[in-house]
A and B are shown apart, each in its own frame.
Chain A
Amino acid sequence: MDFNDTAVEATFREEVKTWLSANIPTPDELKGLDYIGRAKLWQKRKYDAGWACIRWPKEHGGRDASAIDQVIWNQEESNFDTPDSIFGIGHGMCAPTMMTWATDEQNKNYIPKLASGEDVWCQLFSEPAGGSDLAALRTRAEKDGDDWIINGQKIWTSGAHYSDYGVLVLRTDPTAPKHQGLTYFFIDMKSAGIEVKPIRQISGGANFNEVYFTDVRVSDSQRLGAVGQGWQVALTTLMNERASIGGGGGGVNFDSVFDLATRVNIDDAPAIKDKNVRAQLATWYAQESGLKFNGYRSMTALSRGEIPGPENSIGKLVGAPKQQDMASFALDLLESGGAIWDPELSDAAGMFQATYMASPGLRIAGGTDEIMANIIAERVLGLPQDIRVDKGIPFNEVPTSNS
């Protein structure tokens, strides 16, 4: 048992460290740019030096790097203060789908601009009536000559307001059973008839959107996979969600709540001396530690060229509720001061309040706690699937409400 890199990994890490140290954008370089501009500057710099999307095949602008190389890159990059990425969905989900299903010519045209950050892509799957039932899509595409006409609505589309392209799953045959009447496309977000409306979150921001389609035209040449094969193509997209291993980050965690407990009092002594506080912090420490060492076990598997085991699927299910509970606990420690949410007046510039308000979203997005538990039960423990009452029925006959 040994935490050190192999010789090959160590050499790679040195190379990465050297390049990063010399090329991190300076405050001057970033001055005057908004978060999109900063993200694009950093991405282009990595791309020009051959450090963008390193896991992609060389023919698509990557370095054919291994999964462990990506982990090493992520670890080293996270040691520096770099602009937040806006390319997670484009690089992690859209590009792999294009590489698998688009034509060579299309990939030659679109992939380099994805890698360099010139184009930002989004993912238009979720719809208001669908929820966790991902395949229950209703936005229609009807054939018209060499084009399809799209009508309907997508929701929770992160980044749609600054995206250039999107991948899109549409209902092309409402009379077929749910999974069978779907077709997959990619689309120019500037097409006529697309309207992007930001959704205001309880946390105050508006990072995701409703996207309305009114008679939007998309060429059949932008279809990926066969008509009716949309679900299969969508699975490629969903399977490529990046697993985060050993990443780490700040925010509301043991360190920040422990630190808070040294700064506020209970019974006229630092809260960190209170037995309840110690016990609760210890439990969270053990959870964070468990997740961290879970990640190490996965890294070992990757380092050996193996696929990490199912223990990696617990990260979100543990992490999201924990973050909510820790933020809530922190506000309680702050007593009436916890209610103040003003970066100038609040402890930790309002980080605990912000996380308290943002954390409900984490338990819901990208697979709710309940869906994650179902996934663990079914795919890890091998328990039977839930009974489905919409199996084999034409989609347009599936009940959608009480009326």
Chain B
Amino acid sequence: MNFEFSEEQNMLREQAQGFLASNCSMAVVRRVLDGDEPYDADLWKKVAEMGWTATVIPEEYEGLGLSYLELSVIAEELGRALAPIPFSSSVYLATEAILAAGSEEQKQAYLPGLAAGTSIGCFALGESAGQTSPASLTTKADGSSITGVKIPVADGDIANFAIVVATSDKGDGASLYIVDLDQDGVSRESITTIDPSRSHAKLTLNAAGAQLLGNDGEGWSHVQSILNRAAVLFAWEQVGGCDTALNMAKEYAMGRFAFGRPIATYQAIKHKLANIYVKNTLARSNCYYGAWAISTDADELPIAAATARVSAIQAYYYASKENVQTHGGMGFTWEFDCQFPYRRSKLLATNIGSEATWQDKLITAIEKQRAA
């Protein structure tokens, strides 16, 4: 029985922690959130230089050909640091889409740039409030011309290209397209979200040039498997953030006095932090399950992914809001850092499907497994 990371993976974690501690403090997150820069370009460059963007891209496309276990380690650390960079869009979504559905030509054209971090990809799925389904999609392609509005698109304002999910009259009702974002038919507008440390855009496509990615009418199936994999990687980011929230709460509680003693000596606070720890631990163990499932391409990946995501969403919401609570009035100030995990937890809880959506997916996946 070996359900732990390897020595090399643990070393990678140490390296990543050290690097991010020096290059991505909360001050960096605050700077991007407060200011005009959509992301920390310098941090992105350094991350790419270390090869993180190339982690699972095969060597023949100038990637490192490592596994999803290494990527999970990196994801957790980026989540812990709340790194304000387009890593998730480019690596968990765009890269995965090309790996899964790309033709040999498309892989040659896009993967090396993604590996080097010189090309940033994003994933354009949602169009309006509420759940997205093949029936709800209005973005439509006509041959190699695509029209529609996508909002919100994480990193849509800074990416070089987008993977766009459009409606299809074939098969499962959707198709994927690669759309270069630097062309006349594309206009993009930065939009403000509850987490300004991460950039988002409204993408308006007006007969923009597009290339079909994968087969027409197989888009929704691709979306499901891309989101399953992304769910695990986002879950690792979420548990990293859970740790950050817990440590922040603990540190504050140990030093803040009330009625003559640290608030950490009161059971209301002790039990609150213990409950955060419990949820964090369950979520982390489910992330191990998820990491195992993606790295072995297990049949039960839909179950593992949904389990990891549901668990992580619940844990991160709880940890981040109770961290604010533990800080009392100061937790509610702009000056304190409690706002950062609180914002990020809700962004990650809604970006690729809500808790309720994935709870339903989990039961559906279990029903399917039992019927088989």
Contact = CB atoms under 8 A, between A and B. Distances in A.
Given A1-B4, A282-B363, A297-B3, A384 B262 contact: yes
Interface string A296-328: 110111010000000100100110000000000
Contacts of A1: 2-5, 69, 288, 291-292, 295-296
Interface stretch (B99-107, B145-153, B273-281): B273-281
Contact of B1 (A5, A282, A380): A5
B295 A373 contact: no
Contact of A290 (B69, B267, B311): B311
A300 B273 CA distance: 27
**Chain B: number of interface residues, binned into ranges:** 35 or more
A297 B285 contact: yes
A275 B356 contact: yes
A381 interface: yes
**Chain A: number of interface residues, binned into ranges:** 35 or more
Interface in B327-363: 355-356, 358-360, 362-363
Contacts of A385: 265
Contacts of A293: 3, 285-286, 288-289
A209 interface: no
A314 B315 CA distance: 14
A282 B364 CA distance: 10
Interface string A355-394: 0000000000000001011101110111111110000000
A4 B2 CA distance: 7
A233 to B, nearest CB: 29
B256 interface: no
A283 B314 contact: yes
Nearest to A318: B278
B270 A377 contact: yes
B307 to A, nearest CB: 5
B21 interface: no
Given A1-B292, A289-B311, A386-B267, A314 B3 contact: no
B295 A291 contact: no
A89 B283 CA distance: 32
Given A373-B275, A377-B271, A294 B264 contact: no
A311 B285 contact: yes
B194 interface: no
Contacts of B291: 1
B261 interface: yes
Given A286-B286, A293-B286, A378 B359 contact: no
B310 interface: yes
B281 A9 contact: no
Nearest to B250: A381
A317 B360 contact: no
Contacts of B233: none
Nearest to B364: A278
B285 A381 contact: no
Contact of B362 (A286, A300, A377): A286
Contacts of A289: 285-286, 289, 307, 311
B270 to A, nearest CB: 4
A68 interface: yes
A290 B270 contact: no
Contacts of B363: 272, 278, 281-282, 285
Nearest to A296: B3
Interface string B234-263: 000000000000100010011000000110
Contacts of B26: none
Given A282-B310, A311-B281, A386-B267, A296 B274 contact: no
Contacts of A283: 310, 314, 359
Given A282-B363, A291-B285, A384-B264, 17 more contacts: A278-B360, A279-B356, A283-B310, A283-B314, A287-B282, A291-B282, A297-B3, A297-B4, A311-B281, A373-B267, A373-B275, A374-B274, A376-B277, A381-B277, A383-B264, A383-B265, A384-B254
User: 9 closest Cβ contacts across the A-B interface?
Assistant: A290-B282, A282-B359, A377-B270, A293-B285, A376-B274, A296-B3, A373-B274, A286-B311, A278-B363
8 contacts: A286-B362, A289-B285, A314-B277, A317-B278, A377-B271, A378-B270, A383-B254, A387-B265
